[in-house]
Copies of this chain bind each other. A is one copy, B any other.
């Protein structure tokens, strides 16, 4: 099921680091200019007056070859003079801005104040860095992920960065979602008859993909799309690749199985790419198996290729 060439366009719904790995893998198996990445902005927040879009930034750094792979976020070769000076002035330092990373936030903030949209700014940043993938925020309207926890209601960055995911989560909501509109090009890419596959990256389904699905119109567009929708499992051998997903699933009373992922995406996906290590699991949906762990660049291309092959097999049915 691998190696079948894909013509036409590919759409991928993605969150942060894990999603960016899949998108990077996709650029190695199809023409990057044929890819549209619809990116979660539920984690977006303001700090020190600056507009921060963590998942957009992670994808920018990853696709531009500037990401810090060891650290898992931010820029390779980053320096920290700003934070040193900020601390010396008594500024808050729970969120760390790298010196070069600040350019994204300062320039984005300045352009937003001038009335430009996040879509337009993201497009320009991607072009400036030679990124051929069409990067589209899920929405230009503010949607912010909030978590009900045993430490009270927390904004996403407070939970994720300041408290390092320690609080126990009982519910998640996406403030502003009901009034938000998909960003320009999002519904069009999903509905495009040239789109051959729509992938959901192995990002956290509850924290990174659900905000995208919460934007009015996106879920319906996926259901109506002629292209098959294929999710790549974030679960490998009964564990999540990244810690917070597993902890969150347990707190929500969910089994760490492909079946949970399939149920979560019920009505959205046509098929699930399941990890080889879960071949024994019950998967109540069309599926294929692959080694979905993405450590090397070759891994990323292989997983992207497997997901596209699964989509192609759905089209063939």
User: 12 more A-B contacts (CB under 8 A) besides A89-B104, A89-B128, A102-B106?
Assistant: A48-B109, A49-B106, A81-B99, A82-B99, A86-B106, A88-B128, A89-B103, A89-B107, A89-B124, A90-B124, A90-B128, A91-B106
In the complex formed, the residue of B with least CB distance to A114 is B49
Q: Which of B85, B101, B107, B129 contacts A48 (CB 8 A)?
A: B107
In the complex, chain B residues whose CB is within 8 Å of the CB of A128: 88-90
A60–chain B nearest beta-carbon distance, Å: 9
CA distance A82 to B100 in the complex (A): 4
- A104-135: which have CB < 8 Å to B? 104, 106-107, 109-110, 113, 124-125, 128-129
A44–chain B nearest beta-carbon distance, Å: 17
Instruction: Kindly state whether residue A266 has any CB partner on chain B within 8 Å.
Output: no
CA distance A50 to B50 in the complex (A): 10
Contact across chains for A102 and B104 when beta carbons are under 8 A apart? no
Instruction: Kindly state whether residue A282 has any CB partner on chain B within 8 Å.
Output: no
Contact across chains for A89 and B129 when beta carbons are under 8 A apart? yes
Copies of chain A in the complex: 2
Q: Which of B86, B99, B104 contacts A107 (CB 8 A)?
A: B86
Instruction: Kindly state whether residue A7 has any CB partner on chain B within 8 Å.
Output: no
Chain A interface helix/strand/loop/mixed:
helix
Q: Which of B48, B100, B125 contacts A110 (CB 8 A)?
A: B48
In the complex, chain B residues whose CB is within 8 Å of the CB of A109: 48-49
**How many of chain A's residues have a CB under 8 angstroms from any CB in B?**
32
In the complex, chain B residues whose CB is within 8 Å of the CB of A110: 48-49
A286–chain B nearest beta-carbon distance, Å: 42
In the A-B complex, the 3 residue pairs with the smallest Cβ-Cβ separation, listed nearest first, are A85-B103, A99-B99, A81-B99
Contact across chains for A107 and B91 when beta carbons are under 8 A apart? yes
Contact across chains for B107 and A81 when beta carbons are under 8 A apart? no
Q: Which of B49, B83, B89, B103 contacts A82 (CB 8 A)?
A: B103
CA distance A78 to B125 in the complex (A): 26
A104–chain B nearest beta-carbon distance, Å: 7
CA distance A110 to B83 in the complex (A): 15
CA distance A89 to B127 in the complex (A): 9
CA distance A91 to B129 in the complex (A): 12
In the complex, chain B residues whose CB is within 8 Å of the CB of A50: 106
Contact across chains for B99 and A129 when beta carbons are under 8 A apart? no
A36–chain B nearest beta-carbon distance, Å: 21
Q: Which of B86, B88, B113 contacts A129 (CB 8 A)?
A: B88
A54–chain B nearest beta-carbon distance, Å: 17
A73–chain B nearest beta-carbon distance, Å: 16
Contact across chains for B103 and A86 when beta carbons are under 8 A apart? yes
In the complex, chain B residues whose CB is within 8 Å of the CB of A2: none
